[in-house]
Chains A and B, each alone.
Chain A
């Protein structure tokens, strides 16, 4: 079993739809959870950063972490064509612990928002 599982898609939605992106993981030591957006041929851009369980909202984006289920989600409300990109989840363990000092990425989900 891979440490982080993420459906690669592709996922196509109409403009204005609510998008749900998900990752599951197996390493219970992960404490820091991130979502990155990567446009074609560009570097990843940090979208959301959460520590431990809970929700975090930033504009149209909401990140959810459920440590008991080892499951994280990113929701995009009122999706726009400019949201078309690959979304990568990433996780990191506590300092000095398992999975620390480096990010473990999911494979990324390619999203297309159709006008």
Chain B
């Protein structure tokens, strides 16, 4: 099983809403990532978890709050987002923090009204 599963696939929210994106992998990977991708741009790193601890936060605004409840799950909590936050949010995992072999999920397409 080389799958990273993300839910929901699509999400529309208002600027005052609170919502969460979820990610799950069962490959035994110890590193998990959140990326943001705008149209026709490469993915941009947001957060990295290694062994369930936050390792990297790429100066992401506090309206994005990551959580790693266990080694298989990664959440991204969203609150008071702006329309410019509309993007494809990608979860990825790798065996370890710097193996380079990242496996991505299909993404959650977020629209902020």
Task: Show the binding face of A for B, using Cβ within 8 Å.
Answer: 8, 32-34, 36, 41-46, 49, 51, 88, 90, 92, 94-95, 100-103, 105-108
Is A101 in contact with B98, judged by CB distance below 8 angstroms?
yes
Kindly list chain A residues whose C-beta atoms are within 8 Å of the C-beta of B41. Answer: 107
A to B CB contacts below 8 Å, 28 in the list: A8-B40, A32-B99, A32-B100, A34-B102, A41-B88, A41-B109, A43-B6, A43-B90, A43-B104, A43-B105, A43-B106, A43-B107, A45-B104, A51-B100, A90-B102, A92-B98, A100-B98, A101-B55, A102-B45, A103-B45, A103-B100, A103-B102, A105-B42, A105-B43, A106-B42, A107-B41, A108-B40, A108-B42
Q: CA–CA, A95 to B109, complex, Å?
A: 32
Kindly list chain B residues whose C-beta atoms are within 8 Å of the C-beta of A43. Answer: 4, 6, 88, 90, 92, 104-107
> How many positions in chain B have a CB within 8 Å of any CB in the partner chain?
25
Give B91 Cβ to nearest chain A Cβ, in Å. 8
Task: Show the binding face of B for A, using Cβ within 8 Å.
Answer: 4, 6, 40-43, 45, 48, 55-56, 88, 90, 92, 97-107, 109
Closest to A49 in B: B101
Is B100 in contact with A34, judged by CB distance below 8 angstroms?
yes
Q: CA–CA, A88 to B43, complex, Å?
A: 10
Q: CA–CA, A32 to B99, complex, Å?
A: 8
Neighbour of A46 across the interface among B40, B102, B105, CB < 8 A: B102
Q: CA–CA, A56 to B35, complex, Å?
A: 27
Closest to B91 in A: A43
Q: CA–CA, A49 to B105, complex, Å?
A: 18
Is B48 in contact with A34, judged by CB distance below 8 angstroms?
no
Kindly list chain A residues whose C-beta atoms are within 8 Å of the C-beta of B106. Answer: 42-43
Give B19 Cβ to nearest chain A Cβ, in Å. 19
Kindly list chain A residues whose C-beta atoms are within 8 Å of the C-beta of B98. Answer: 32, 92, 94-95, 100-101
Kindly list chain B residues whose C-beta atoms are within 8 Å of the C-beta of A33. Answer: 100
Closest to B103 in A: A46
